[in-house]
Every structure is written in C-alpha cells, then in structure tokens.
Structure 1
Amino acid sequence: MTMISRVLGLVRDVLFARFLGAEASADAFYVAFKIPNFLRRLFAEGAFAQAFVPVLSEYRAQGSQEAVRNFIDRIAGCLGSALIMISVLVVVAAPIFTGVFGMGFMFNNPEKFQLTTELLRITFPYLLLISLTGFAGSILNSYDQFAVPAFTPVLLNISLIVAAAVVSPMMQEPVYALAWGVIVAGILQLAFQVPFLLRLGLLPHPKVDWGDESVTKVLKLMAPAMFGVSVGQINLLFDTILASFLPDGSITWLYFSDRLTELPLGVFGVGIATVVLPNLSRQFISGAQRYSATLDWALRMIMLIGFPAALALVVLAEPILFALFQYGEYRPVDVQMSSYSLRAYALGLVAFMMIKVLASGYFSRQDTRTPVRIGIIAMVVNMGMNLLFVLPFHFYWQMGHAGLALATSCSAFLNAGLLYRGLRREKVYQPDDLWLRFGGQMLIANIAMVAFLLIVMRYMGDVSSLEAYGRIVRVLSLCVAGIGIYVFTLWVMGIRPRHLRVAS
C-alpha cells in the first residue's frame, strides 16, 4: 500500500514540475505545505505515535477493552483540542510563521512572502486533519492492521493530482488550487479510516481530561520524543530557512531531491519501522527473547534495501530526474541543480532508514530521553555543517542548496551511529553471527549492480534528448535491470528467501 502511495506521489510531483516548475510560486507553496507537514511529524506519525503505541500496547496487555476505549477517548479529546488551538493560532499569526520559515522571502522578495502567507492560511488546518488521521492509524497499527493507514496517503496524492491537472489550469494563480487540494485530502484521509475503527469498536468519543493518568503518561513520553524523533525534520526546516536566502528555485530543487529519497525511505524504512514498533513493544512488555532478533532482522532488511537504493540514486540521479520532471516549466538546468542535492541526500539514505528502526528500539521500551540527547548532538552538528557548506566563508567550499542536503546526510550518520552504540551498550541489541558473511554477500552484489549501471549508461546515450515516453522506458529498464543484477548476484552468493525471515 505504501508503494502505491509513493508511486502516486511521484505522479503528483511530475505534475507539480510540469505546471509550477521551479518558479517563485512553487517555492512559496512548498514552504506553506512543509510547515504543517513538519508539525504533522510531531503530532501524528512522529513523536505522538512513538509515545502512544507503547502505552496502548500496555493497556491491551492488561486485557481490558473498556480501559483501552477510555484511554483512546481521552487521548483523542486532548490531542484534538490542542490541535484546534494551534491551527487557529497559526492561521491568525501566519505572517510570523512565514517570517520564521521563509526568512529570506521576507527580506529579499516581499511578493513571495505575501503569497506564502496566504497559502499557509489555507494549508495549515491540514495539520488538524492529518494528525487525527495519524492517531487513527496508530490505533489500527497497534491491532496489526497496517494496510489501511498505509493506503491513506494515496488519497492525498489523488487529491493533489486532480488539483494540479484539472483545477490549477483554470485558476489565475495555480498554486491556490494545490493549497485547497491539501485540505480536501485531509478530510478524505480522516473519513476513510472511520469504518475500520468502528469495526474494531474503537471509534473515539473525545473527552478532554488533561489530568488523566494515561494522558499524563503519554505527554511525558511525547515531550522529549517530539524533539528526538523529529530531528531530521527540524534539520530539513533549517535547510528551508537557509535555502530561502539562496536563488529562486533552491527550495524546489531540494524538494524534488527529498521526494525521490523519500520513495525508498517511505516504502521500506518507515514501513519496516511501523511494523516493528508494536511488535517490539509487545515483546518488551512480555519479556520475550525475540526482541533482539526482531531488531536485528529490521536492520538487515534496511541494509539489504537501503544500500542499493542509495547507490542507484547516486548513479542514476540525472536520468531519473530527466525522466520524471523535465517537462513544461521544469528546465534542464533545474534537473542539473536537483541532481546535486539528490546525490547528497542519497548518501545519507541508509542512515535515514536506520534511524527509523533504531529509534523504535528506544521508544518500544518507553525510553524517549536517550534519542533526545542524541538528537540534540546531531542537530547542532547539522546546523554547523550547514553554515560551513553554504555560507561563503570559504568560497571554494560553498555548495549552495547541495551543501544543505550533504549536511543533513552527514548528521544522519552521526545520529544513527549514536543510537546504535546506545542499544549495544545497554545490551538491548546483540547482532547475530551472520552479519560478516551477509555484509560480504551484499557488498559483492552492490558492486555488480553499480558496475552494470555504469557500463550500460556509457553506451546508452543522453536521455534528455528523448521524448517523454522514451525517457521513462529507458530509465525504468535501467532500474529493473539493476534490480535484477542485484538480486541475481545475491542468489549466486547463497542468499535465499528463507534467510530474510525474522528469527523465531
């Protein structure tokens, strides 16, 4: 289901590139959409889910359905009331928030600043809708119903596709159609999950009770987790602030680079972490011996998928961008600029995936403080590298928007490394003895894949000279062939499907 959503997301981004290009209005929309999306990571699938799911698993383990319903009702009431207040505040004070996240617009481009402010007033209520959607999805995930929450982003993509392809050409300023499409999507996503909650008998009846013991427990877990789990998003927003001072198009180039990196990250990294968290929570509560084995399996899957995905994005950056986005308003120079930041983000893809899984090793044990300490270190390092790579202290080092992406990737490796060291030091996670052999097999398979891609690309020619259909067919053929070489080499090296199952 996540794969369907991500593929439709690519279709959506192709239309964005075609109708918006990398102009000032596109930058304005991406900032206005990024602000509620950032807070969504805190209130929905980020810190809230990491705090809520382990506590809900604990209530389930006690065996009282009535206690579970009471817990859900009170969390729904408190979460909903907080989100309503935040939404009203931001809509009223939109210029202030635009000034924070689009600081460069305020000083360098007043028209872009005004447009961003108007778009933010339309898009921000999406935070309320999508956070409640994430809350519903966390309940379903806790009951091992993963498909429905994974499918809901499809509705966002469909809504934005219709807005971009059908509604925007009718409007004098096309980006307004996209902003209203975001709100329609939020309504559809929330409504879609209601029947499945009813089937479980867990449709919330909100009750505001901030003094309730269960609410207090979730808030105590959520407060540090809000920072710890969202360090990557805070880094991306800091990138946006700095990018607003860079030339027009910088935010758009970063957006498309990030979207392509998010494809494997969202399908596999987030997908694996989403499935692992409730299982780890139950195993920890019951004292099961499989805890370390489950974590080990998740990391093995991350390595198996993350490394070839990262290498493929580095090698195929320009062909992929040409095939997907170089139409209409999106120019060849935009593809070239996006390829720089795409390669920089791709270098950190494995670390981005590892963070999702390793953080679950802490949150499943209701330890939200350790990721916070690690997150602070990673964020400070990221900000320092942002300034080093972007500001012209050393002209020969200045990398513009690509420097922002590279700094994010470097800090992600630091974050993942510290999380891993903490789990090993606490003896929560113990790698099995097969990692050395597995690593060697995977290394050979990745070398074979990269060598194949480089050889074929040398004789393939420039895809930018082809028509749209020819570009897509050629790049898709390259990707499929690369996957085939990788899988075939793994098979020759002795890896079979049974080796990829979690240990029992």
Structure 2
Amino acid sequence: MSQKLVRSTSTVAIFTLLSRIMGFLRDIILASIFGAGGLFDAFVVAFRLPNFLRRLFGEGAFAQAFVPILAEQRTTRSHEEVQDFVNHVAGTLSFIVCGVVILAEIFAPLVIMIFTPGFVHDPVRFQVTEHLFHIMFPYLLLIVLTALAGAILNTYGIFAAPAFTPILLNIALIGVALLWAPHTSQPIYVLGWGVMLGGFAQLFIQIPFLKRIQLIPRFKLGFRDVGVTRVMKRMLPALFGVSVAQIGLLIDNVFASFLPQGSISWLYYSDRLIYFPLGIIGVALATVVMPYLSRNHAEKDEKIFSATLDWALRCTLFIGLPSAVGLFVLAGPILSTLIQYGKFNSFDVVMTAKSLSAFAVGLPGFMLIKILASAFYSRQNIGTPVRVGAIAMLANIILNFILVFPLKHAGLALATSLSSLVNTTLLWMLLAKQNIFIPSKVWGKTIFQLIVSNGIMAACIDFLAGPLTPWLTWSVFTRITHLLLILCVGMLSYFVVLGLTGLRVRHFRSPC
C-alpha cells in the first residue's frame, strides 16, 4: 500500500508538472501577444468566474463531497447500485449547472458589474468582458462533468487520465493563440473559443476510462436520491470552505477593477506562477491522499489516519516552503526570464513581481489548506472548514481595505496570502484539539530543518540574483543561464543542509 500511495502521488504530480509547464508556455505566448493591458484584463475577468468554479469542482469541493460517499457505496453496494448512484449524481448536477449557466448568460452585465464594478466607467473593457463572458461561461458545464468523471476514476484508483486533462486546455489556448488569433481583427475573442475547445477535449478524453470500469454516467434526475442528497449537502458549503484562496481572488477583482489598467493582468500572471507549486504539491497530494484518508476513517483506523495526514503535511512543507522562499526572493528574475517578451515589457515585470512576492508569502498556507481540509472532508465533516473559511474570508476583506491603498495590487495579493495563513492555523489547531491529528515526535526536528535549510537557501539565491535592473536588459540566453544557475545552487544548498541536519529519504515513507 505504501508503494502504491507514493506511485499514485508521483503519477498525479508528473502530469500536473507537465500541465504547469504547458501553462508556462501558454502564459509566455499570451503575454507576448496580448501583454498586460485592458483587453487582457477583460479576458481574465471573463474567464475568472468559470475558472474559479473549475478549481472548486476540479480540485476541491466536489471531490471532497463525492469521493467518500462513492468509496463507501463501492464497498457496501453492488455495481448496479453504484451505477445508479453515479447516474443520479450526473443528471442532478448537470441540471443545476445548466440552470446556473442560463441565468449567468441572461444576467451577464449584472454579474460583471458585481465582480468588477470599476469596469462600469470603462465602456470598452466592459463590452469586451461581456462578450467573452457569453462565449466562455458554458465551459462551466463541461468542467463539472470532467470533474465528475475524474472523481469516479480517482476512487477506482485511476489517477493518470484525470491528471492529464488540464494539459488539454493549455494546448487548446496555445493552438488558437498561435494559429487563429493572428488571422482575425479581434484576437482577444479567439481565447474564449479556445477555452471552450479545451473543455470538450478534457471531458471526452476520460470517457474510454469510464467505459473500462463500466461507469459511464447515464443522466437521471435524482433530487430525492439519498446518495445525491448527501453529496449536495456536503458539496454546497464545501464550495466556500475548501477554496478561500480562490474566493479571495474574486474579491481581489472587485478592488483591482478600480486600480489602473493592467492590475488584473499583473495579479493573473503572479497567480499563475504561484499555482505551479500549488498544483504539483498541494493538489496532487490532496487528490491522492483523500481516498486513503476516507478508507482509514471508514475502517476506524484513527492511528493510520493521523499518520497519513502527518506524512502529507510534512511532505507539503519540505517541498512547498522552499518553493515559496524561491518565488519570494526571485520574483523579478523569474518573471523577466519567463514572460518579458513582445508586449509584456519591463514595467509589467516590475509590477507583477510585487504581487508574486506577496502571493509567495501565502503559498505554504494555500498548500496546507488542501491537505487539512481533506482531513475534515474525508470524515464527512463539512461544517468545520466552512466556519474557518468564513473567518479567513472576513480577514481577507478587512486586509484588502487596509493594504490596497499603500500597496495597490500587491496589497490585494498580500491580503489573500495572510488570510490563507489564518485559515491554515485554525484548521491545524482544530484537528489537533479534536485528536484527529496527533503530530508525530519528529515535528520539532522538522521545523528546525526547515528553518535552517530555507534560511541558507534564501541567502544563497539572493546573493547570486543581485538587483533586478540588469535582468531587465539582459539577453534571453543570459537570463535563462543565470536563472538556471541560481536555481541549481539554491536546490543544492537546500538539500545539502537538509542532509547535514539528519534528513534521509526513508523519513518520507508513507504509513499506508
């Protein structure tokens, strides 16, 4: 079981890594073609609502509500009964989402005014945003069905296909940006159709795998179905509780819409970079650990439950914390190397670096929330993360008001980061207080190792990077070689110090 858990995590992480690499390539191309101006602001806003729900359904709330119940039914019911449960979930969920899509299409101007009120005073940006919104919002239905298929496959131990699906969205956007956009007078609208194309591809690629396990959904309404009712009751509050960071980005939109043009784009590019390690570590671990935690709880094996959670948290910190330190210290050089091309100029690099450093402060929190929330949801406890999320959300709003005036868009990013740390701290404390999570005896040494290794790594890479100004004028080759050298030295110093402080590979063996 231990090898299977590590192998499954590695599979998800590898495909997620490929997706993030493709995402980098996508953002380089989009930045070069569209820059960080008002039109790209409009695309970001129009895509943020369905994309926000994609992150909830695809990597959080739906899986947290659906997987434990499906795992339970798989164990206690016949295949025909499981098929009937899947049919009713698919039909009911699709019916609800179709209603949401129709209402959103009808009231699109109102939705845009609510989430980006500052655009009301900019008719061009508002009109472009509305048109893109009409094109892209039906993507929500496609991605909900994709998430359903992925959750079913994950429960049956098939992780590769669902982990591969995000790559298809990146391929679609890259394809339309390079092949279609240059041949149209309004290239920004092409991105909207690229999103829809990617949505269809993400859904259809999973159908053969569903057929293999004989669980292709046959859509049936089932509002009175007991299983559907349980999923819905757990899913609705989890939409809020598990993804405070993403809700924070929507709140950031409201504030950013009043800031100068480009602010939303700067936040977008920095968020994309933060999501690279978050997707690889936080989402991959949570996706794989969730079924094991659910099984541990169903078998009433609380000792293994706590040990599995302990393992996941330590893995997250050992990889997530140096990622945060690296992004904080090297924000400018990384952005200059990756996306300072075409219409994305040196000023955009400087401004995006400010929000990237601010987001990096909260990266460990963003990652840990994925794992900590999974511990509650695997026990079918929705209320606790929701209450904690409400507190963190209130903190985010208050911090937005405090920080947006002196720090502008970077203040919005910092507010989101600080609220995620509030969320993490409260979830951790409650798990420990309820004796759900009993930290192992190695945590004292773990904290010491993390502080020393990350401190030395930060000093090394900061010294080698130097000031940002020369990076903005160097050739592409010079930037790439310097950044690779710094990253290699940083990783080497980090792992050497970890080894000197006593960390060994055997310490990462999973307990299940």
TM-score, normalised on structure 1? Answer: 0.96
Query: In the aligned structure 2, how far is the partner of 1:389 from the partner of 1:486?
Result: 33
> Which of these residues, 129, 139, 149, is aligned with residue 126 of structure 1?
139
Aligned residue for 1:213? Answer: 226
3-state secondary structure, aligned to 1:366? coil
Aligned residue for 2:491? Answer: 483
- Is 1:354 paired with 2:362? no
How big is the shift at 1:448? 2.1
Give per-residue Cα distances to partners, 1:272-299, cap 9 Å, x unaligned: 1111111100110011231000000010
Tell me how large the CA RMSD over aligned residues is.
Answer: 1.4
Percent identity of the aligned residues?
47
Contact 1:322 1:463 in 2 (8 A): yes
Segment of structure 1 superposing worse, 249-258 or 92-101: 92-101
- Superposition pairs for residues 97-116 of structure 1, below 5 Å? 97-106=111-120, 108-116=121-129
Contact 1:40 1:46 in 2 (8 A): no
How big is the shift at 1:191? 0.4
> Which of these residues, 287, 292, 316, is aligned with residue 306 of structure 2?
292
- Is 1:196 paired with 2:209? yes
> Which of these residues, 60, 65, 88, is aligned with residue 74 of structure 1?
88
- Is 1:457 paired with 2:465? yes
How big is the shift at 1:459? 9.4
> Which of these residues, 448, 470, 474, is aligned with residue 478 of structure 2?
470
Segment of structure 1 superposing worse, 113-122 or 478-487: 478-487
Aligned residue for 1:157? Answer: 170
Aligned residue for 1:182? Answer: 195
> Which of these residues, 148, 171, 186, is aligned with residue 135 of structure 1?
148
Query: In the aligned structure 1, how far is the partner of 2:72 from the partner of 2:467?
Result: 58
How big is the shift at 1:165? 1.8
Query: In the aligned structure 2, how far is the partner of 1:176 from the partner of 1:270?
Result: 30
How big is the shift at 1:35? 1.0
Aligned residue for 2:76? Answer: 62
3-state secondary structure, aligned to 2:296? helix
Query: In the aligned structure 2, how far is the partner of 1:459 from the partner of 1:244?
Result: 31
Equivalent AA in structure 2 for residue 419 of structure 1: L
Aligned residue for 2:319? Answer: 305
Aligned residue for 2:7? Answer: none
- Superposition pairs for residues 322-333 of structure 1, below 5 Å? 322-333=336-347
How big is the shift at 1:470? 2.8
Contact 2:58 2:147 in 1 (8 A): yes
Query: In the aligned structure 1, how far is the partner of 2:187 from the partner of 2:459?
Result: 43
Query: In the aligned structure 2, how far is the partner of 1:378 from the partner of 1:141?
Result: 30
Equivalent AA in structure 2 for residue 370 of structure 1: T
Segment of structure 1 superposing worse, 137-146 or 237-246: 137-146
Moved over 6 A (4+): none
Query: In the aligned structure 2, how far is the partner of 1:267 from the partner of 1:43?
Result: 17
Give per-residue Cα distances to partners, 1:185-226, cap 9 Å, x unaligned: 000000000001101111111111111111111111112212
Query: In the aligned structure 1, how far is the partner of 2:272 from the partner of 2:436?
Result: 33
Equivalent AA in structure 1 for residue 89 of structure 2: I
How big is the shift at 1:111? 0.9
Equivalent AA in structure 1 for residue 167 of structure 2: V
> Which of these residues, 100, 106, 113, is aligned with residue 86 of structure 1?
100
Segment of structure 1 superposing worse, 468-477 or 133-142: 468-477
How big is the shift at 1:335? 0.6
Equivalent AA in structure 1 for residue 392 of structure 2: A
Query: In the aligned structure 1, how far is the partner of 2:229 from the partner of 2:467?
Result: 62
Contact 2:333 2:465 in 1 (8 A): no
How big is the shift at 1:312? 0.4
3-state secondary structure, aligned to 1:290? helix
How big is the shift at 1:105? 0.4
* Structure 2: runs of 5+ lacking an equivalent: 1-14
Contact 2:457 2:494 in 1 (8 A): yes
Query: In the aligned structure 2, how far is the partner of 1:46 from the partner of 1:496?
Result: 32
Aligned residue for 1:395? Answer: none
Contact 1:235 1:408 in 2 (8 A): yes
Give per-residue Cα distances to partners, 1:48-79, cap 9 Å, x unaligned: 11110111111122152222111111100001
Equivalent AA in structure 1 for residue 181 of structure 2: S
Segment of structure 1 superposing worse, 457-466 or 30-39: 457-466
How big is the shift at 1:302? 1.1
- Is 1:495 paired with 2:503? yes
Aligned residue for 1:18? Answer: 32
> Which of these residues, 366, 382, 385, is aligned with residue 368 of structure 1?
382
Give per-residue Cα distances to partners, 1:13-52, cap 9 Å, x unaligned: 1111100101110000000110111122344432211110
Contact 1:44 1:132 in 2 (8 A): no
3-state secondary structure, aligned to 2:216? coil
How big is the shift at 1:467? 2.0
How big is the shift at 1:344? 0.5
Query: In the aligned structure 1, how far is the partner of 2:85 from the partner of 2:490?
Result: 49
Equivalent AA in structure 2 for residue 487 of structure 1: F
How big is the shift at 1:169? 1.4
* Structure 1: runs of 5+ lacking an equivalent: 392-397
Aligned residue for 2:3? Answer: none
Give per-residue Cα distances to partners, 1:457-491, cap 9 Å, x unaligned: 23998222222233223212322331122122212
Equivalent AA in structure 2 for residue 491 of structure 1: G
Aligned residue for 1:435? Answer: 443
Query: In the aligned structure 1, how far is the partner of 2:466 from the partner of 2:373?
Result: 41
Query: How many residues align structurally?
Result: 497
How big is the shift at 1:455? 2.3
> Which of these residues, 430, 448, 452, is aligned with residue 444 of structure 1?
452
3-state secondary structure, aligned to 1:312? helix
Query: In the aligned structure 2, how far is the partner of 1:457 from the partner of 1:39?
Result: 38
Contact 1:51 1:218 in 2 (8 A): yes
Aligned residue for 2:183? Answer: 170
How big is the shift at 1:173? 1.6
Query: In the aligned structure 1, how far is the partner of 2:458 from the partner of 2:123?
Result: 46
